[in-house]
Structure 1
Amino acid sequence: MMNLRCVRTGTLALLMLSSLTFSGCAGVKDKPAAEDLNLVMAGMDGTDGVSFEGAAALLIDGKTIPESSLYYGGKVADHNRVSLYSLLPDGGHPASAAESGPRSLEQGSGDAPVYYTRMVKEDGKWTMKKASPALGGSNPLEALNPLRQLEELEKMGKKVTEEAGSARGTRVLRIELTAEEARRQLSAELAQKMQAIKPAARIGAAAPADTQAKALAAKTALWEWEQKQTELQQRLNQADIRTVYYLKVDPKRNLPIRLTSNRTLTYPGKAGATTEEAYITQVDFYGYQ
């Protein structure tokens, strides 16, 4: 499982729903690719809920970083409430996202750690209402909210085309962010993650010796955080960033089946070598209500 409490040094990445009626509306297959996201979001607005399961992983120079792998599931309810839970790989779920409610998942199962978070959309923004204490300040589940991913994707600068050879009864949209949008997106994510793990440094002139020692340790941790932030920002400035999404759609119902993202970063590494990172996520939707 991913270490949910830390951002790895030297990496930048570690850091939709029922059918539309066809009266006055065309299906996805009858629209240009660039308009399909709007139809999918409209389709999602018409559903009461959906379940989903997905995975995320970081690869450096083609090799998966084991502790970066995260398997998760969750549910969307009432259009604006999302619950996400970490799962185990290869079917070894502490509890199935489709079968278990928040209470049983929060309690966990045996020795398997289970992480969770609940989010609600209020005044147009997603707000985290509850999260597993084990997440600490860093919460990767928050960024994996599939509703927010689609909503943000709809608004971003991008080029949308249709992939050839889609399975019968489906359509796959290829959505590539502009270079500026890809950089802006990653920069915002990185800033949010770094802020979440920023340590506090407080010291008082008349504080007891043990308190001063703790304050000095906190001050040192803050200095290390600042150094780390500077290093990550430098690498971000030097990196070539490319972000591509693939959205598999049911064109009859205007509903998403699968959303995949692939963010690739290339930047100078040690001894003049080039380092390539790929952060990949995939989420499958099922059980529309």
Structure 2
Amino acid sequence: MMKLISYRTGILSLVLLICLIPASGCGVMNDKPAAESLSLVLAGMDGSDGVSFEGEAALLIGGKTVPESSLYYGGKVADHNKVSLYSLLPDGSQPDTAAESAPHHLEQGSGNVPVYYTRLVKEDGEWKAQQAAPALQESNPLEALNPLRQLEELEGLQKTVTEEAGSARGTRVLRIELTPEEARSQLSAELEQEMQAIRPDDQGAAGTAAGKPAKEQEARAALWEQKQAELQQRLKQASIRTVYYLKVDPKRNLPARLTWNRTATYPGKTGEVTEETYITRVDFYGYQ
């Protein structure tokens, strides 16, 4: 059976996990509209030669963290358009792994902790893995956590940008909330990308070569179609809210921390309301 643990979408995560295994605002900051300040910060990031970062991501359901969804990661940006990312242990150390020798890899580290590594390069306006990923049963979540891509996307999204009230002295925090329509569209596109990545039809040739019976392939395809339909139905019923918080280094006008909260609420099968919140946080340091 296919296996998928979604680190970036949240909605219907448990259904997939179980069944696929057997407009700007008016805030003012430093005498500039908040939306204008956001553009200046993003432009400053574009002009940086490189930066290091560390972050974490997790999915909460009903306020409780889904253990297998927690991921700690780090990485570096070089030459404006090259990003390397690798998984970290909760204490910030790297697991013992040979992943450094491969551009896109997954293996088991110490304590059965999955070890991920990937290198991305921006070509023709799109972020791509520098080499094709090996055939893995699990998708590599790091590509979706590329902080440069996350920052770049903010510029074109329909949103309201304001200054976060009550920021500590000497800090500047921008609050960026997507419109409901944009939040839904963003999530829908991400879900579609993930579902297409695990579509059995795309692996049919490989399955036949591996000697898998045609009936098994048909069963996998039927299961995928069923879950795709359930996913789309759940998405239609869901209320999506997506908010980013961008902490700005006031001296250099560059990103210091980006936090992304996406909350999806939808009715469960027995009528109760389910709330899922996907959270990522990434800190930037060592600008060049």
The TM-score bracket by the shorter chain reads 0.7 to 0.9
Superposition deviation, residue 36 in structure 1:
1.7
Superposition deviation, residue 11 in structure 1:
5.4
SS in 1 for 2:94: coil
Q: Distance in 2 between matches of 1:194 and 1:107?
A: 19
Q: Which amino acid aligns with 1:245?
A: Y
Q: Distance in 2 between matches of 1:36 and 1:245?
A: 15
Counterpart for residue 4 of structure 2: 6
C-alpha contact 1:261 1:280 (8 A) present in aligned 2: yes
Q: Distance in 2 between matches of 1:231 and 1:42?
A: 40
Deviates more, 1:174-183 or 1:31-40: 31-40
SS in 1 for 2:45: helix
C-alpha contact 1:83 1:118 (8 A) present in aligned 2: yes
Over the aligned positions, Cα root-mean-square deviation in angstroms equals 3.0
Mapping 1:92-131, distance limit 5 Å: 92-94=93-95, 102-103=100-101, 111=110, 113-130=114-131
Counterpart for residue 219 of structure 2: 220
Counterpart for residue 190 of structure 1: 191
Mapping 1:37-56, distance limit 5 Å: 37-56=38-57
Counterpart for residue 76 of structure 1: 77
Counterpart for residue 277 of structure 2: 278
Superposition deviation, residue 5 in structure 1:
4.8
Q: Distance in 2 between matches of 1:109 and 1:225?
A: 27
Superposition deviation, residue 249 in structure 1:
0.3
Deviates more, 1:160-169 or 1:190-199: 160-169
Q: Distance in 2 between matches of 1:150 and 1:255?
A: 11
Counterpart for residue 18 of structure 1: none
Superposition deviation, residue 132 in structure 1:
6.2
C-alpha contact 2:106 2:116 (8 A) present in aligned 1: no
C-alpha contact 1:115 1:135 (8 A) present in aligned 2: no
Counterpart for residue 24 of structure 2: none
Superposition deviation, residue 131 in structure 1:
6.8
Superposition deviation, residue 7 in structure 1:
4.1
Counterpart for residue 21 of structure 1: none
Q: With structure 2 as the length reference, what TM-score do the two structures score?
A: 0.82
Q: Distance in 2 between matches of 1:218 and 1:108?
A: 26
Counterpart for residue 257 of structure 1: 256
Counterpart for residue 162 of structure 2: 161
Superposition deviation, residue 103 in structure 1:
3.9
Q: Distance in 1 between matches of 2:191 and 2:107?
A: 30
C-alpha contact 2:116 2:140 (8 A) present in aligned 1: no
Q: How many residues end up aligned between the 2 structures?
A: 263
Superposition deviation, residue 81 in structure 1:
0.5
Counterpart for residue 58 of structure 1: 59
C-alpha contact 1:13 1:58 (8 A) present in aligned 2: no
SS in 1 for 2:245: strand
Q: Which amino acid aligns with 1:154?
A: E
Superposition deviation, residue 94 in structure 1:
2.1
Q: Which amino acid aligns with 2:252?
A: R
Q: Distance in 2 between matches of 1:139 and 1:161?
A: 34
Q: Which amino acid aligns with 1:157?
A: Q
Superposition deviation, residue 223 in structure 1:
0.7
Counterpart for residue 20 of structure 1: none
Superposition deviation, residue 127 in structure 1:
1.2
C-alpha contact 2:5 2:69 (8 A) present in aligned 1: no
Structure 1 residues 241 and 113: alpha-carbon distance in aligned structure 2, compared to 1, 3 A threshold = closer
Contiguous gaps of at least 5 residues in structure 1 = 16-27, 96-100
Q: Deviations over 1:20-46 (max 9, x none)?
A: xxxxxxxx7342111122111211122
Q: With structure 1 as the length reference, what TM-score do the two structures score?
A: 0.82
Q: Which amino acid aligns with 2:157?
A: M
Identity of aligned pairs, percent? 69
C-alpha contact 1:82 1:118 (8 A) present in aligned 2: yes
Structure 1 residues 107 and 148: alpha-carbon distance in aligned structure 2, compared to 1, 3 A threshold = closer
C-alpha contact 2:109 2:115 (8 A) present in aligned 1: no
Contiguous gaps of at least 5 residues in structure 2 = 17-28
